[in-house]
A and B are shown apart, each in its own frame.
Chain A
Amino acid sequence: MTLNFVVPGDDFTRAGEASGAVKQKMKQLGFPSDVIRKVSIALYEGEINMVIHAGGGQVDVEISQDAIDLVLTDHGPGIADIEQAMQDGFSTAPDHVRDLGFGAGMGLPNMKKYSDEFHLESEVGVGTTVRMRIYNH
């Protein structure tokens, strides 16, 4: 099953729609709750990053019995130093976003931690693509 979502830029009231909908769907399909939790967290962090750092983007989800594939694509500014961005605590989030509770610099580390396979590709001035796979044990 394929699900696609457009994530609007700078709209915190709508960020979380994709992860919320995927969570709902996985519940209906009877996936175990720990698998649902991993997918939900990984996807929400990705959505929020696109909202805050990339002016929005696109989410493509492929749900099968064995695994859930998440692909997040944006055409934002890209990430110059991926290794640095992946470090716990590194964040360039602006103050108005920090006031909302974001900017711990834990989003990408969470995505890596909660997915079984994690690939981040980014080019400055072109955009960022994150691919994650979570296995259904």
Chain B
Amino acid sequence: MNVKELARTCGFSAAAGNASLQRPVTSVYCCDLLSFAMGRAPEDSAWITVMGNINSVAVASLADVACIVLSDGVQPDEAMLTKAQQQDIAVLLSDRPAFETGLAIHEAIRA
């Protein structure tokens, strides 16, 4: 399943991403501490966080995750969106809390 299909299946909206929306998603990872995420988020995972700032984009890019999913209705700030668009990092938005967001992704990629 790719990022775009994941967004559609789970009812997330896409705030950023072009070619990155076609990337495959193979797992899901959740953490708000950036050094944790950086060291532990698997490649090609959907990374759930409430950190809607520019540093999340840097971490997503370096850890090579498939997409960032901002949970709990968090909105990305302007700088984050600009950077995500520049670096083509997909950013999805979920109104649901982190756990439920992760569960929905887990079910979608297992289906």
Query: Hey, which bits of chain A sit against chain B, CB under 8 A?
Result: 12-13, 15-16, 19-20, 23, 33, 37, 40-41, 44-45, 48, 100-107, 109-110, 113-114
B49 engages A16 (CB within 8 Å): no
Q: How far is the CA of A33 from the CA of B10 in the complex (A)?
A: 30
Q: How many residues of B contact A (CB 8 A)?
A: 22
B49 engages A101 (CB within 8 Å): yes
The residues of A that contact B27 with a CB separation of less than 8 Å are none
B34 engages A102 (CB within 8 Å): yes
B35 engages A100 (CB within 8 Å): no
**Residue B71 at the A interface, CB < 8 A?**
no
Partner of B58, one of A16, A33, A107, A109: A16
The residues of A that contact B39 with a CB separation of less than 8 Å are 41, 106, 109-110, 113-114
**Residue B75 at the A interface, CB < 8 A?**
no
Minimum C-beta distance from A8 to chain B (A): 14
